[in-house]
Structure 1
């Protein structure tokens, strides 16, 4: 096809997050002309604690962005299990996980990917798709400027929906079926401007109670990330009041104590934060014709899995590889991409419940099981055996799924 005097295959990538930027970067590397559109007025600069496992590290290295992404992992990271009175017990450190995932801010990954985009990649802010109509030869997409209301219909060879778990592309191309599956949990996250009082920079904490928990995640060169996680019976009610009010209600009515109160107050004062419900996206198919979903729009592994960034980068890289490998046979490329990704993502989705239990025990029974597991991991012999079991489970998080 020829578009506006330029020869080559043209792809619309909706969403300027990790999955969208990684996809656009890889498409450009294999000769496509990506056009990135983003609902927001500009690129996000903030972010919360995130881990990049071996899956994402391998893809980031091949994309040429790994050094730019960096690594904020603290060499002597120490985690403490605490209670409301401030009593401490040894906790489980992310640094102890097999493969030692990189600990980062979300913005580190987005900036590293964004900086690698060639200058000729077109990016349009305040732009959303309003209609998607496809035929055997291409896709007509109506794009609307949210600032002016002006709309234009353009033709593309491929549309990639990387616009998050509440994806507009998914709704337009796959219909109104509800693919979001709630876990009945909420998360509230931010990044602090200084360490938690009474804790060194390399020290993090976990306060885990039935149905609720709070975590701080330390970095080598930055104040820690802060995460509240809690169970809810009414997601809509959580959004009907200010986020800090919902978080405070979830951790009441018991007295907070000095440590928890300090963390609640610092969340309330944070200039930027994330407050959202936790959902999985489960779909029988991630592509339809010339429209394909990527990252949270397709599978949404949730914050509990720790694999959102890694799967988004790997998925974007692999899509470009398959498009290059299959040439003009777009259906074959998309089929091959999904056939490679689906078993990998399916395994990650199946482990989310166990990961959620580690983050936030659902009830008293899960809390006791979690406490018992942590004690066993500190026991000589038993701890080594459990580490070997965990290493086997962690292999999937370090699988190089996008390897050519």
Structure 2
């Protein structure tokens, strides 16, 4: 696997990246509202621009912002489609590790086509047993990972990123400690002002396509889609995730645990080859207030003043001791369109399904794969390719945005009524006839999670 590279060096060995001389800035705003149409962009002839703006190769040039799952996969797929690709990453090096996630058929199909599915391990613990537990220590057979996310591969974010990154060809240029600071759109390209955070210098480069894969709080979305109102919608739930150093006392390494109460829950997910991971999830009426104090203080307040019991108390203590953790609010992104002219958003920057859907990684992989398919179909008409890409992908994403809300009640009941409904559904699921009926109601969800969206659009 390729090693880490310092900021400002390319994948091709350790030579410095080629930095173009700064061209004369072209000031124009494009695509401020509505579906992109040609009359909203300046049609500037090449003769009117600085000659340095002109590409010296017949291959089209794409800029991908973000080196997560969606960004790496977009870069890989665009290169396969015949594009020259540059990737910008704000961090000084590639991020490592990451927490558990589910990878469904939709994402696996994309990974298989791109050649790295076999490198994504399935970490489901063999002979795993899951228990519903309460604060007093009582336990009974409960629902586990396979019940919540059936038909998926349990893995961690780092496994997918490592596999996709290893598949990247050396021709893909990666620039660390580098961010976009301005976008100027034209009919035939996008001028991007790029800042090197190490040297504090800026250059302007032209690209035929810009892909924003830079997450929930996307810089590309802000640059290309403002002044629209914020597309981020809060679900008013918080999550905290961390890895345990050892199994939960009194349980085997392959055992899973769930403690579900009104407005809060805690899940312990076991793995085949590493200690379990823990997910805290709880409802809040004031998301901003949750960030005004240490995460452990917010967790202890959310899980109440009543006695925690030995298991919950131990899990909270381990969170406080953990060397790293994720603590964040759950938010979705809702946009009328995911592209403006030659700028397109992929993954959390475009939709952010939240972990309650279980489809974040799979949708990012599928969306990136489909983007390459549409650009191959319309190699000389980027706006048409993006239009068709969104038309094919929109129903798929809209469905999973909805499931991210509906499935939240099972993972974390919002109130006593949802807690009671969850309990009834679990008990009915154990009965032969009722279980089969419930399986039929989940058939569409299973089908949508396994849909090979790029193949369906072919």
TM bucket, shorter chain: over 0.9
CA, structure 1 residues 147+249, in 2 after alignment: closer, same or farther (shift >3 Å)? Answer: farther
| Separation (CA, whole Å) in 1 of partners of 2:76 and 2:248 | 38
| Separation (CA, whole Å) in 2 of partners of 1:255 and 1:349 | 36
| Separation (CA, whole Å) in 2 of partners of 1:125 and 1:194 | 35
Contact between 1:47 and 1:191, CA under 8 Å: does it hold in 2?
Answer: no
* 1:3-402 equivalences in 2 (<5 Å): 5-96=56-147, 100-176=151-227, 177-402=229-454
Per mean C-alpha deviation after superposition, the further-off stretch among 251-260 and 98-107 is: 98-107
- SS class of match (1:303): coil
Moved over 3 A (4+): 1-7, 96-99
Per mean C-alpha deviation after superposition, the further-off stretch among 81-90 and 146-155 is: 146-155
- SS class of match (1:372): helix
Gaps of 5+ in 1: none
The TM-score, its normalising length taken from structure 2, stands at 0.85
| Separation (CA, whole Å) in 2 of partners of 1:235 and 1:270 | 23
| Separation (CA, whole Å) in 2 of partners of 1:159 and 1:369 | 45
Deviation at 1:272, TM superposition (A): 1.9
| Separation (CA, whole Å) in 2 of partners of 1:5 and 1:68 | 36
Deviation at 1:366, TM superposition (A): 0.7
| Separation (CA, whole Å) in 1 of partners of 2:420 and 2:140 | 15
Contact between 2:149 and 2:358, CA under 8 Å: does it hold in 1?
Answer: no
| Separation (CA, whole Å) in 2 of partners of 1:46 and 1:252 | 31
| Separation (CA, whole Å) in 1 of partners of 2:441 and 2:186 | 49
List per-residue Cα deviations over 1:48-92 (Å, max 9, x = no partner).
110001111111111101011121122322221111122112212
- SS class of match (2:453): coil
Deviation at 1:385, TM superposition (A): 2.2
- The structure with the largest alpha-carbon Rg is 2
Aligned-residue RMSD, C-alpha: 1.6
Contact between 2:355 and 2:404, CA under 8 Å: does it hold in 1?
Answer: no
Count of paired positions:
404
